[in-house]
Chains A and B, each alone.
Chain A
Amino acid sequence: MTRACICFAIAALMAMGPFGGAAARDEFILVQSTTSTRNSGLFEHVLPLFTAKTGIEVRVVAVGTGQAIRNAANGDGDVLLVHAKDAEEQFVAEGNGEARFDVMYNDFVIVGPPSDPAGVAGMRDAVAALLRIAEAAALFASRGDDSGTHRAEMALWRETGVDVEAASGGWYRETGSGMGTTLNIGTGMGAYVMTDRATWIAFGNKRDYRVAVEGDPRLFNQYGIVLVNPERHPHVKAGPARRFVEWVLSEEGQQAIASFRVDGQQLFFPNAGS
């Protein structure tokens, strides 16, 4: 009886084993991308259109831009779709990617609590707003994770001349986490947070937070796409990956991005070839 039970349990385990299920899939490519594109739901909107047309499945690993670039540099991915132009160009210059193309843009915003302790609500000048936050020593939650958003934020801080590292742990709080987690933390402790607009609009735990600062040209947020260099990384699925890059940059792919809406708002604005 006992033996029968154990034999049954083992047989059940074997049936559930790792090698049965996922084997027979169609061709797929792997895209290293950012949390903002995934969390907003863009991929669920766009990728099925590509898959329906080509039969190529697209698997997305969504991490911070810094980590996505490092993963791709290790050869763990066929395409890179992130938002830190300098880092992407460096990735190409180092021979890890073939070429970099603009795909789409949106913008960053600084969100804050309704009490607005630094008095920055309605400001357009992002640098002046950050300076005011620093002077008021109002809480500010930063990604602190070498992501595209973090890089953009650091570039603005450099313009203010404020040494945020010295303030880190005081009014300046580095979460070392993704955008959503940082927003959860920021809204939890009443801190200002700089976020891309797409993540913010799709975010489900806004509480009473609102956009305080927007409209500064320096808050421009450009996304780029790079094919991982098949000469450097021979296992890269160059054929289907190139098809994906070309499709994203094509009229059809750009239309698909433009037609993605959350709550009636367009989150990403295609600008390939511009």
Chain B
Amino acid sequence: MESFWGILADAMSLILAWDADLIEIIGLSLRVTVTAVAIACAIGLPVGAAVGSFAFPGRTAAAVILNSLMGLPPVVVGLIVYLMLSAAGPLGPLGLLYTPTAMIIAQTVLVTPIVAALTRQVVEDLHREYAEQFSSLQVGPLDRVLALLWDARYSLLTVALAGFGRAVAEVGAVIIVGGNINHVTRMMTTTIALETSKGNLQLALALGVVLLAMALVVNAGVMALRASAVRAAYV
């Protein structure tokens, strides 16, 4: 076994030699994950905010369920989505199995509870501060949720990034529902799993470095967006 740095150097030269396919794979990974996170936010933000700000019977139970669903095993999600989308399953006629859409569905199922649970926590803390004001101003329920989500928006960006981190690094679900088909459903993580199984450990590690760099770029981009928004808010 070579030294870690030796492998890393090999890895970099492999990346440089592997252009077109690699770009396709990175593009698909981003497309699937970003779409899944966007859908998960569209569902998870309002759900989390509702649980975090409304008093209703079973609210604690709802919070516990959301928190536990954060630990959904990707393989189980993959299996469930496979059984739904399989030709023998209820959604079989849609023909979505082994397509990028199937991978988006699986990742959305995986990420939505994370977004919802973390949003609930953020919104609940903020709601404690705002509750008195809301009731004295007689703010309606929808306006409350919107106001809380808006005022917590910077914290919620981090929530979205947590969801992104989970989705982009996940392999168990997408390999089952996507099938890791070359040029169709091959993503960063499934390629890493494939190259590892071929014994091409250097290349697999190189791809891991690429995946990390990709996550870094996305996170830096979001943080830069946030910084400029914060600055704009105080002008």
Residues of A within 8 A of B (CB): 1-2, 5, 9-10, 13, 16-19, 21-22, 30, 35, 39, 44, 59-62, 71, 74-76, 178-181, 183-184, 202-206, 233, 235
Contact = CB atoms under 8 A, between A and B. Distances in A.
Contacts of B93: 235
A17 B225 CA distance: 21
20 contacts: A2-B229, A5-B228, A5-B229, A10-B38, A13-B34, A13-B35, A17-B31, A18-B104, A21-B31, A21-B100, A39-B198, A60-B182, A61-B98, A62-B180, A75-B92, A180-B196, A184-B196, A184-B199, A204-B198, A235-B92
B181 A184 contact: no
Given A18-B101, A76-B98, 10 more contacts: A1-B232, A18-B104, A21-B100, A22-B99, A39-B197, A75-B86, A181-B196, A204-B198, A204-B201, A235-B87
Contacts of A13: 34-35, 38
A137 to B, nearest CB: 27
A30 B87 CA distance: 13
A244 B200 CA distance: 31
B46 interface: no
Interface of B: 30-32, 34-35, 38, 86-89, 92-93, 95, 97-101, 104, 179-182, 184, 194, 196-201, 225, 228-229, 232-233
B86 A74 contact: yes
A164 to B, nearest CB: 23
Given A180-B198, A205-B200, A59 B181 contact: yes
A235 B181 contact: no
B97 A1 contact: no
Contacts of B100: 18, 21-22
Given A18-B100, A235-B87, A203 B225 contact: no
A30 B98 contact: yes
B196 to A, nearest CB: 7
A184 B1 CA distance: 13
A35 B100 CA distance: 21
Given A17-B35, A76-B97, A235-B87, A183 B199 contact: yes
Given A9-B225, A60-B182, A206 B199 contact: yes
Given A1-B229, A18-B31, A18-B35, A59 B198 contact: no
B31 A59 contact: no
Nearest to A63: B179
Nearest to B104: A18
Nearest to B99: A22
A16 B31 contact: yes
B184 A22 contact: yes
Contacts of B181: 59-61
A184 B201 CA distance: 10
B35 A16 contact: yes
A52 B180 CA distance: 22
